[in-house]
Structure 1
Amino acid sequence: MSQLPILSVRDALEQKLRQNKITILIGETGSGKSTQVPQIIQALNPKHERIAVTQPRRVAAINLAKRVADETKTKLGELVGYTVRFQNMSNAHTRIKFLTDGMLLRELMLRPNLGQYTTVILDEAHERTVVTDLLMGFLNDIVQKRDGLRIVVMSATLDAEKFTHFFKGAQVLYVQGRRFPVERHYLPTPVEDLVDATVRTAIQINIGEPTGDILAFLSGQEDIDKATDLLNSVSSAMPKGVPEIVPLPLYAALPPQQQQNVFDKVGPNKRKVVLATNIAETSLTIPGVRYVIDGGTHKVKVWRHDLGLDSLLTTPISKSNAAQRLGRAGREAPGKCYRLYTEHDYHTLRPQGEPEIERCDVSFPILTLKSAGVDDIIGWNWLERPKKGAIMTALTQLYLLKALDNEGKITHLGKKMAILPLPPHLSSVLLHAIDSGITQPVLDIVSCLSIENLIMNPHPDKREEVNDKRLPFVQASGNMGDLIVLRNYVLHYQSLKSNDDKREWCKELCINARAMANVEDIRKQLERYLKSNKDNIDNGKQFAPSDLFDEIVKCFLKGFVGNTALSMPDRTFRTISSGQTINIHPSSCVFGKKVEAIMYTEYIFTTKAYARMVSPIQLEWLQAIAPHYLSRRSAGDE
């Protein structure tokens, strides 16, 4: 630990902390800032300091807390603890608390001056998540009004000018990272199949390099699961004397206990191959990694104003992302980075990633601001102000959800929505389900919609066989669409007794078994959360199956009223919100059926615009739920 670069500037850091309310620390990967700065601050005044350290991701918050507890030789949850969604390992005596930025924002909603802390450290600020940006805006205001609060903004990249301008001339300290040399290797020509190229590269490293684990970056859960299965299938066929490959997935939707596996040592003559999303780019140090395979892509959500929907797109990373990934190979020893793209393509990458606030739906941040009593949304203290069009779209969405009234003030329903750990439209659906007495079935479906890549596309050779196995669940939906089919899957999965039976059934129906296990975890978490907020979730009414299906779809319609479309004579649909042409995706059970109107929860664009997770609706439902919306749209069409 004495070798960590951050400790070489300890005196300068302590001086800045004593003299300034706001300090910006630019510390490269490997500088030790995430573990050491909280301890340095706590040592300034051990009895007085109460420190919050935010992380964009829960796995980083948990593992940093464990590391600092080990370094301070204390029991986790006492002096050092953590709080992430639905999990609290801290108590009244905790002095250093690691928490996700979302949890600190939730605490700020309950105690607007954050009087429970003397120091707030915003770590990984360069990631520029929406929540981190919101926190910076709130904290910049709080620190001006409240004595005894210190703010430390920590970033791994040189974005100091923007931060110092925002925080009105805050002091900046630079720390060089500890880096061992890392060789860079590029491909001579681009590859079409990144999963295949990743697996082949990992096997070549395993055969050709004597020691060291491998960290491979892929864009999402589906690619990671595919690569994991491929590596598992070849692991036993390695040549004699070559280490056995132990593939380990790492992505946000993975259960916490499985995420922890990447930090454990493997036995002799074995080699870890960690297959990760950009969750492993910063904060986390995975012991033993000497080789990085960089696929050059990641998934980002891009908000489509014309459709009122997020699209999850696979896009090239930035040079900053590439540098972070490369740095993972040089944390503990000299390493190698295999970039699965050409050197020319590297030079075409943009320098920095686009801030999330510029490409996402801003309904959640605006609902948060409204809940905090902020009325002047455009004039608020944004680090990066969203476009006015994005703000107006979000205000309209929140009005349709009845989270805001005619004057733009937050409603009682809106305040309850702001507390739930879900996007506003799903919060709305869940709260309406409680009022309708159908909480349990809606919880099943909302939990499914909170997971990526639950229902997978079958291989073309097996598509007919898989569709035949799925058919009974579709028939049992009463022609009410994909949401009801999802619930039928969940009910059957829950009825299976053994884990082996569950895995086999998922395999037969081409359902992601890991994701389905996560659905059960999320459902339990949401149920506990509703109970902790004293919502009556056990008030189930008795419905005939067809009536229950209608009630479920009506409930979702209240949350997705803006995602509706009317049938056209050519079997396409026209969205009510913008009049754009949209098609039902062939994977939907509603595909090819004659319906007068649809609601959808997902949108994708390939060769054309597609609606996914589709449910047929009746126009009279839409008229009953949102007459102001239909009349406004009708007036606009005339």
Structure 2
Amino acid sequence: MDVKLNEEVGYKIRFDDRTSEKTILKYLTDGMLFSEYMSDPLLSKYSVFILDEAHERTLINDILFGVIKQIMENRQDLKLVVMSATLEAEKFYSYFNEAPLIDIPGRLHKVDIIYEGQFKSNYVQRAIDKTINIHVSESPGHILVFLTGEEEIEDACLKIEQKIQQEQNKNNNIPDAVVIPFYSQQHPDIQQKVFDAPPTQKRNHMQPVRKIVVATNIAESSLTIPGIKYVIDPGFNVKPISQASAQQRAGRAGRTNPGKCYRLYSETQYSNLDISTAPEILRSNLGFVILQLCRIGVKDLEKFKFIDQPTNEAIQNAVLELKTLGALNDDGVLTDVGKLMNKFPLDPQMALVLISAPRFGCSSECATIIAMLNVPNCFMRPRGQKDKQNTNTTKPSTLDDKSDHITLLNVFREWQNTENRHKENWCKDNFINSNVMINAEDVRNELLRIMNRHQLQVNSLDFNSLTYYQSIIRALSAGFFMQAAYLQTKGNYLTVRDNYLVSFHRST
């Protein structure tokens, strides 16, 4: 549109509003739209809503669908466009009263699907082997490999680089390749390399440098990596993916040229995958959802019109949890604590930590911890360091062997105490993502503003106090007491609330 940001076109996300009175096209998150609904139940300043990537079906997204459905019953002028590349169209067609369906075919080139073997636990090594096979034997074109997380990706990148070097030592005609990890918690400068043209060939000028991108499902939809010709899909995103996700992954190979998708599983296994990923509302704790519905005055929680209705049992479990937290009274009505929780854009437990922190004298510290928990992981693991004792690259002064939360607090405090001109170097030296730290500071400042706005005392502990850590842990426990577990004589942990068998996460 060739206009300045913050004028005709703007955006509004949590803790960042870039709109003005001139704005006519506004991009905003589902959470921000829901917040606006709270002050304007008819969303009267909008005439058209475009809900993109509707298939993602976040918790707040599903609440918004129900809210907008209600608004449209009272506003005949309101228009709604629901868009998605993998939408279950019939479900939305029925939900929105048989609204018109428009199918816009994608301009994809032909993609050959090749099924190879079965789902196996060694899918990472199989993906690496297939990558090398393609690089050595197939025609030029970039490769996109899907793996499940940062650790897998970094290790796979290192092994691919080493294996290519070994192959080149045996055969000088094998071209160079640039191997790029791609996941959400990376520094933006590294992510940008995915979209940049590869460097000039050094070894074999007859063939271009091949780009090999190893990514999470961040590369599955919503963006196009130029020149991808080969996709390797092991079929996992922590657990087996859906058919819709598999189709999205294959489509990455046909954006700019014909391509191939190697699925490291059989066609029968593909047929047995779920058609689409179950929406979050059917597989998550509903505490946040119920709190929001109570906030907008929904009386009969079980009759709210969701696209996919949660079970009554799931709803009642969430209600019981909110009562235990003190957010709802025995009649299911919001308490003063529940109303305060709703002032924070946080899960109920995190909000309760901030509400409880003033009486322990540690509002500032808890705001820091909650902020750090609401941004991506700040730690960046140097490539090739696989085991845990090698991945603790932060300074000993920031590490706390008793609490990950205190470690996050220590990291933020040391970063904050570093001079601005040295912050970037401090992050590099300690393998910390500087952008995440800046984001955490913004989130922290907004949380403190909310506390001030609602007369929650903002206080801080003396770092040298004998009760410094004890007070912070008590404040955290005030919100997360339902996650408490006790150690059995056999070394197992059981949750206090339901006697579930639990263990420490491997990343802790």
TM-score (structure 2 length as normaliser): 0.84
Q: Which residue of structure 2 lines up, in the alignment, with residue 253 of structure 1?
A: 185
| Partner residue in 1 for 2:111 | 182
Residue of 465, 469, 477 corresponding to 1:549: 469
d(CA) in 1 for partners of 2:64, 2:115: 39
Q: Does 1:278 align with 2:217?
A: yes
Contact 1:231 1:245 in 2 (8 A): no
| Equivalent AA in structure 1 for residue 182 of structure 2 | L
Alignment-derived partner of residue 394 in structure 1: 318
TM-score w.r.t. the length of structure 1 is 0.68
Q: Distance in 2 between matches of 1:566 and 1:222?
A: 30
| CA–CA separation in structure 1 for the residues paired with 2:295 and 2:457 | 24
**One-letter code aligned to 2:227:** G
Higher relative contact order (CA 8 A, sep 6+): 2
- 8 A Cα contact 1:212 1:271, kept in partner: yes
Q: 1:202 aligns with which of 124, 128, 131?
A: 131
Q: Give CA deviations for 1:450-475 in whole Å, capped at 9, x if unaligned.
A: 4459598999996677789988766x
CA distance change for structure 1 residues 82 and 197 in 2, over 3 Å: closer, same or farther?
Answer: farther
- Residue in 2 aligned with 1:347? 271
Structure 1 gaps, min length 5: 1-71, 299-313, 507-512, 586-602, 605-611, 614-638
Deviation at 1:325, TM superposition (A): 0.9
Question: Residue 483 of structure 1 corresponds to which residue in structure 2?
Answer: 405
Partners of 1:167 and 1:316 lie apart in 2 by: 30
Partner deviation per Cα, 1:228-248 (whole Å, 9 max, x = no partner): 444566677774565543344
Task: Show the counterpart of 2:206.
Answer: none
Letter matched to residue 213 of structure 1 = H
Tell me the alpha carbon deviations over residues 308-329 of structure 1, each in whole angstroms, 9 at most, x when there is no partner.
Answer: xxxxxx2101111111111111
Shift of 1:419: 4.0
Select the structure that is richer in strand: 1
Match of 2:241 in 1: 317
Question: What SS does structure 2 have at the residue aligned with 1:367?
Answer: helix
Asked whether 1:520 is paired with 2:437, we answer: yes
**Aligned residue identity for 1:276:** A
Q: Quick one: which amino acid aligns to residue 55 of structure 2? A: H
Question: % of aligned pairs identical?
Answer: 34
For 1:202-229, what per-residue CA distance to the aligned partner results, in whole angstroms no more than 9, with x for missing partners? Answer: 3443344444333222222332333344
1:245 and 1:385, CA in 2 relative to 1: closer, same or farther beyond 3 A?
A: same
State whether residues 217 and 293 of structure 1, in contact with CA within 8 Å, keep that contact through their aligned partners in structure 2. Answer: yes
Tell me whether 1:164 sits opposite 2:93 in the alignment.
yes
Contact 2:364 2:448 in 1 (8 A): no
Gaps of 5+ in 2: 202-208
Residue in structure 2 matched with residue 539 of structure 1 by the alignment: 459
Asked whether the equivalents of residues 371 and 440 of structure 2 are also in contact (C-alpha less than 8 Å), the reply is yes
- 1:97 maps onto 2:29 in alignment: no
SS in 2 for 1:341: coil
Counterparts of 1:347 and 1:97, CA distance in 2: 40
**Is 339-348 or 226-235 further displaced after alignment?**
226-235
Is residue 2:481 matched to residue 1:561? yes
Partners of 1:442 and 1:467 lie apart in 2 by: 23
* Aligned with residue 578 of structure 1, among 479, 498, 504: 498
Q: Which residue of 1 aligns with 2:77?
A: 148
Measured in 2, the distance between the counterparts of 1:461 and 1:404 equals 45
Contact 2:182–2:213 under 8 Å retained in 1: yes
**Structure 1, residues 335-367: CA drift from partner, whole Å, max 9, x if none?**
111222233322322222212111111111111
Partner of 2:291: 367
In structure 2, give the amino acid aligned to 1:411.
T
Q: What is aligned with 2:151?
A: 222
The structure-2 alpha-carbon separation of the partners of 1:127 and 1:328, relative to structure 1 and needing over 3 Å to count, comes to same
1: CA distance, partners of 2:81 / 2:255? 24
Query: How far is 1:140 from its partner?
Result: 0.3
2:38 corresponds to 1:125: no
After superposition, the Cα gap between the structure-2 partners of 1:205 and 1:381, relative to the gap in structure 1 and judged at 3 Å, is same
RMSD: 3.6
Q: Distance in 2 between matches of 1:197 and 1:369?
A: 46
Paired residues of 1:440 and 1:537 also in contact (CA < 8 A) = no
Q: Single out whichever of 183-192 and 550-559 deviates more from structure 2.
A: 183-192
Structure 2 match to 1:295: 234
Distance in 1, matches of 2:62 and 2:486, equals 38
- Residue identity matched to 2:85: A
Partner SS for 1:175: coil
**What are the superposed Cα offsets for residues 286-333 of structure 1, whole Å, 9 maximum, x if unpaired?**
3322222212111xxxxxxxxxxxxxxx21011111111111111222
Paired residue secondary structure (1:205):
helix
Paired with 1:334 and 1:399, the residues of 2 have a C-alpha distance of 56
Number of residues paired by the alignment? 491
Classify the secondary structure of the residue corresponding to 2:28: strand
> In 1, distance between residues paired with 2:384 and 2:224?
36
The amino acid across from 2:151 in the alignment is E
Report deviation, 1:161.
2.1
